Amino acid sequence: MLVLNIIGCGRAGGSVASALARTGLVTIGQVLNRSPSSTHRAVARLGAGDAVETIGAFSRPDVWLIATPDDSIGLMAQELAARRPGLSGQAVFHLSGRYGPGVLATAGDRGAETAAVHPVRSMPVHSTDVDQFRDTICIAEGSDAALRALRSPFEASGACWKEVKDLNRGLYHAALAIVSNVTKGVVWKAQKWLEQAGLEPEVAAQASHSLLSITAADLNREGARQSITGPVVRGDTSTVEAHLGALQSLGAHDTDVYRILALTVLDLANERGNLDDQTLRRFDELLGGGKS
């Protein structure tokens, strides 16, 4: 059984640690957060492990998880290397999508095997429900030894383990942020438009969330190219023109949001080959696709 020490046991770290511990392949060793009170709360949520107050107070584990905010991962790796110079035979990994294993290089210089394992899911709250982690795609990059150590407990948790090399982290993380965070922002904006149109807030939320669930099912079943619908794909330029006219009363920002999103749909429709040249030119005029 692997002993796991955790530096930064918040929502992501706590959720992943809980999922791994419930496999029976990992036991929680010790936990360190920014303050003693936060550390004790994290241990209480996990229902396992012991609180420590400094990196120097940790006992030797098999695996270290650094689950601090992204910009602190490298600093924590440096401190770990400084305070724990004998890291040979131990794995150190983080959960960030923004950074690869290179951010842990100082720990690697001290003999640690390093990895980045990014669960492709949002974690808005700490969860100890192992089923919530099931089927989560985990993008893993790192040394062979680190990946061997981590793969079994992640797969036992129900995660879908995918190993990669030389990932373009900026592009990768931008793509996932669009799917997760920007989707939520778009739904929120749509709800505001529905309220402006005359729906009560509760009805606007129900309508948008229901449509989002149906859309997600369509994506899972057919993919974006085959399931895309609506006035842009149909070449209905008059409807798009009416949308823009209605949005003008809300201000330039809302109109810009619509234009940018509609241009993305237009790219998809164009790739699928739905539209003739005349329709494409008209959409270009309406949506400003030719602007520099």
**What integer is the mean pLDDT of 243-269?**
94
pTM attached to this predicted model: 0.88
Which residue reads 């957060």 in tokens? Answer: 33
Q: 43-100 pLDDT, tens per residue? A: 999 999 999 999 999 999 999 999 999 999 999 999 999 998 889 999 999 999 999 9
> At residue 16, does pLDDT exceed 70?
yes
Tokens of 187: 């739904």
Q: 90-129 pLDDT, tens per residue? A: 999 999 999 999 999 999 999 999 999 999 998 755 554 5
Domain with CATH 1.10.1040 in the chain: 170-287
**What integer is the mean pLDDT of 244-272?**
93
Which residue reads 């929120």 in tokens? Answer: 188
- The pLDDT, as a whole number, for residue 147 is 98
Confidence of residue 292 (pLDDT cuts 50, 70, 90): very low
SS (H, E, C) 4-58: EEEECCCHHHHHHHHHHHCCCCEEEEEEECCCHHHHHHHHHHHCCCEECCCHHHC
Dihedral angle sign, alpha carbons of residues 258, 259, 260, 265: positive
Domain with CATH 3.40.50.720 in the chain: 2-167
| Domain 170-287 part of CATH 1.10.1040 | yes
Pick the CATH number of 2-167 from 3.30.530.20, 3.40.50.720, 2.70.150.10, 3.40.50.300: 3.40.50.720
